[in-house]
């Protein structure tokens, strides 16, 4: 059995797309009855690109009837408009068709992450019981509990973890003997990658896109078959 577990944000999709979806929804709510939603949305993007506090500037400029905390709640709880790109969808389909079990380990708030998962339609590929959300289970990566869930459930198997955050995604699966695969920043990642870390933190494979995961799994499966013959 081959069990392929993914990170979510900036791995299966670009997290900046969630940010833009949230900004668009907030602009719509703040300008209800007016026609300047696009202007407010673009101002929020400008604040973000400058590294400013988006919501502080929003309140300062427009004095909406919302506090920063209320704006944060709108951001976290909105239902985003997201989609898997064609290459990622095809890769997940290929892995499922090859008999792999797919899973997900993601840090974040339960409602926020579930909205992302629903919008991306990941339940087409991943069983609900194989989705680990940090707030729901009470531990964040790199806690072993989040990874051992899969080894305890599926037993003797080849395990893979695919992520993007070198600081926390790979150290634990490396120690557990998993195959670790890092998706390289395509220029749109929210958190920049730093590979100047101890080797225990580093992935065993670097890929440009999720589409390459299938090739890695297929190669490892073929080597195992040839070794047993």
One-letter-per-residue 3-state SS of the chain: CEEEEECCECCCECHHHHHHHHHHHHHHHHCCCCCCHHHHHHHHHHHHHCCCCHHHHHHHHHCCCCCHHHHHHHHHHCCCCCCCCHHHHHHHHHHHHCCCEEEEEECCCHHHHHHHHHHHCHHHCCCHHHEEEHHHHCCCCCCHHHHHHHHHHHCCCEEEEEECCCCCCCHHHHHCCCEEEEECCCCCCCCCCCCCCCHHHCCCEEECCCHHHHHHHHHHHHHHHHHHC
Residues 68-97 pLDDT 10s: 999 999 999 999 999 999 999 999 999 999
Q: In this predicted model, which residue has the larger pLDDT, 55 or 33? A: 55
Q: What is the pLDDT of residue 122?
A: 98
d(CA 98, CA 12): 19
Q: What is the pLDDT of residue 149?
A: 98
Q: Are residues 122 and 197 in the same domain?
A: yes
- pTM as predicted: 0.94
Range of the domain at 7: 2-14+81-228
Q: Please give the average per-residue pLDDT across 110-139, as a whole number.
A: 98
Confidence of residue 64 (pLDDT cuts 50, 70, 90): confident
Residues 130-141 pLDDT 10s: 999 999 999 999
Q: What is the pLDDT of residue 35?
A: 86
Q: Are residues 98 and 111 in the same domain?
A: yes
Q: Are residues 136 and 218 in the same domain?
A: yes
Q: Please give the average per-residue pLDDT across 18-37, as a whole number.
A: 92
Q: What is the pLDDT of residue 228?
A: 66
Confidence of residue 61 (pLDDT cuts 50, 70, 90): confident
Residues 154-186 pLDDT 10s: 999 999 999 999 999 999 999 999 999 999 999
Q: Are residues 178 and 73 in the same domain?
A: no
Q: Are residues 62 and 134 in the same domain?
A: no
Q: Are residues 94 and 152 in the same domain?
A: yes
């Amino acid at each position: 059995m081959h069990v392929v577990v993914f990170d979510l944000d900036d791995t299966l999709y670009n997290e900046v797309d969630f940010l833009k979806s949230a900004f668009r929804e907030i602009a719509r709510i703040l300008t209800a009855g007016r026609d300047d939603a696009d202007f407010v949305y673009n101002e929020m993007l400008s604040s973000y690109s400058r590294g400013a506090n988006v919501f502080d500037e929003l309140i300062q400029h427009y004095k909406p009837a919302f506090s920063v905390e209320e704006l944060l709640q709108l951001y976290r709880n909105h239902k985003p408009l997201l989609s898997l790109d064609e290459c990622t969808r095809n890769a997940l389909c290929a892995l499922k068709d090859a008999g792999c079990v797919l899973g997900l380990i993601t840090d974040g708030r339960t409602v926020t992450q579930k909205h992302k998962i629903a919008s991306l339609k990941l339940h087409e590929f991943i069983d609900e019981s194989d989705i680990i959300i940090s707030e729901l289970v009470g531990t964040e990566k790199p806690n072993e509990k989040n990874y051992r869930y899969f080894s305890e459930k599926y037993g003797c198997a080849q395990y893979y973890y695919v992520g993007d955050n070198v600081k926390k995604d790979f150290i634990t699966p490396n120690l557990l003997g998993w195959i670790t695969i890092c998706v390289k920043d395509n220029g749109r990642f929210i958190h920049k990658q730093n590979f100047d870390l101890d080797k225990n933190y580093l992935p065993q494979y670097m890929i440009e896109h999720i589409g390459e995961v299938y090739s890695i799994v297929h190669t490892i499966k073929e080597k195992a078959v040839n070794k047993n013959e």
